[in-house]
Amino acid sequence: MWFLDLIAAPRRAVRRLLFSHVIRIVGNATLLSLCLLSSCTSPTFQIPALSQSDQVPLGDPARDAQARLLAEAHRAFAQARYPTAVLFFTRFIERAPDSRHAAEARWWLGQAHEQLGDYAAAMQEYRIVAAGALSARANSREYETQALRRLDELRGRQAADRTSGRRPVAVRLPAASLPAESAITAWLRDLSSAGVTALVIDADPLPATERERRPLQRAKQVIAEAHQLGLLVWMTFDVHRPQGIGVRPDWLSVTSNGAASASTPDVTNIGYQAYLEKVLRELLDTGCDGIFVPARPTDGFAAEFSEGGFRAFAASFEPSLSPQDLFSPGPSSDGSPSDRTVWYWRWVGWKAASYAKFLVSLAAVLRAGGTPRALLLEVHQETLLNPLEGLERYGEDVVELVRRTGGTIIVRREAADGEVLIEKLGQQLGAPDRLWTEILPRASGDPFSAASLRLLLGEQDEAGRRSLLIAPQLVPAVP
């Protein structure tokens, strides 16, 4: 991680290191191009075990290295580390194109691309396997048959996508705004005809009373009906401002000036993270297609910590550290990054990395159970415009979030400028469905009716066909 470079860096080198990290955030297309949203495709074969001859050292360093590389590639795939699996399978093919495992490696490379949502790259690998050029390789006939079948399935999917020609459009709404049970089907049909392809529903994941459970029960009904009409439904899972979740006092954050927060839990607290994973598993019982993780609504990410979170940080660097070591003034007072201590920036990097690691664990929960679900991560537009401030204020490192989670990024539009950076990010992600734009129009009346949404969509000519999330902000009626 970039922030580890600060451990040995002299204080005067901090500004240079931070600047290099900013450049990496906004310009690292190589990393981002590997990191796409997981698909719902499951592998056809069981991951093969290496034969005894492959496991025993062969006395040939080159072949030994090839066997280890293939084993690491399969291990990465089994652990759902799909970007790493793509990297290792590709290296194996490049270094050992005549290997007896060439067909196997290309098939599993295609499977890894599918799990990342890169169907074009997957089809390219399947075509090579299906062509029979690798017929002398181990199990090649079996892989050829499966590659032909998978090509037919993916071609059918592409044809359906071209026929529908629908721009992905999602609407975010609170569960309390869902219609009555008798009106759900007609409402969903109206939304679909208006161009909506998905819903994002805000509901308490752990309601305590029967009255509080009603919105979640209504959401389950909507999900079942939506699936009948081909609509996706994602549930909001707010880790920064949890609703309906009993947060223990020791999970709450305090600020650098010692003030306690009554509503902001520490996302790096291990106890809080474990509890949220349990909550997520229960939320998935609704049958939803994934979760939408909202961005932190207010700044102050770097200035907050819990006792448990800070202890974990200190244990990683210097057990004798105190919060005063982090937040005391630095050598400068001009408001620049060097106005903070080296320990402060180590803390910012560690906390952001810990948050990303937590999201990786949520992604693992979503992929478990044989039905992979989507992870949608909202980030502030400000983070694209000023990556260092986004990291410090909200804990958002877009490169790390995409690279480590494989999730879809949703940019919350908060200003008219910044379109160039959003467009660049979309190009780096490599596929249009890897990046969404979120708009927050002010609305009154019934903003979730089909008529209102048709009007909103008609006003949007934003970035051509880019996927769009509409989150209407209700304006109170004037008496």
What is the reported pLDDT for 37? 31
Question: What SS3 class is residue 150?
Answer: helix
Q: 174: closest CA among 197, 196, 206, 203?
A: 203
- What phi and psi values does residue 412 have, to the nearest 5 degrees? -80, 110
What is the reported pLDDT for 176? 84
What is the reported pLDDT for 33? 33
Q: Which residue has the tokens 């952001």?
A: 352
Distance of CA 340 to the CA centre of its chain: 30
Q: 129: closest CA among 149, 151, 114, 144?
A: 144
What is the reported pLDDT for 38? 34
User: 387-418, pLDDT tens digit by residue?
Assistant: 999 999 999 998 788 878 888 899 998 776 66
Q: Are the C-beta atoms of residues 355 and 401 closer than 8 Å to each other?
A: no
Q: Are the C-beta atoms of residues 290 and 373 closer than 8 Å to each other?
A: yes
DSSP state of 234: E
User: Domains along the chain?
Assistant: 9-35+166-474 (3.20.20.80), 52-162 (1.25.40.10)
CA distance 78 to 261: 40
User: 413-462, pLDDT tens digit by residue?
Assistant: 877 666 777 777 777 766 556 788 898 888 776 777 778 887 777 766 55
Q: Which residue has the tokens 């799909």?
A: 82
C-alpha distance from residue 142 to each of 51, 120, 171 (Å): 17, 22, 44
**Residue 177, exposed/middle/buried by CB under 10 A (0-12, 13-18, 19+)?**
middle
Tokens of 60: 């040939």
Number of C-alpha atoms within 13 angstroms, CB side, residue 217?
10
Q: Are the C-beta atoms of residues 328 and 341 closer than 8 Å to each other?
A: yes
CA distance 352 to 350: 6
Q: What is the mean pLDDT of each run of 10 residues along the chain (479 residues)?
A: 44 43 38 33 48 48 85 92 91 88 90 81 83 61 82 61 64 88 90 89 70 76 88 92 75 77 83 91 89 93 91 91 80 57 91 94 83 87 90 90 84 78 73 78 76 75 69 65
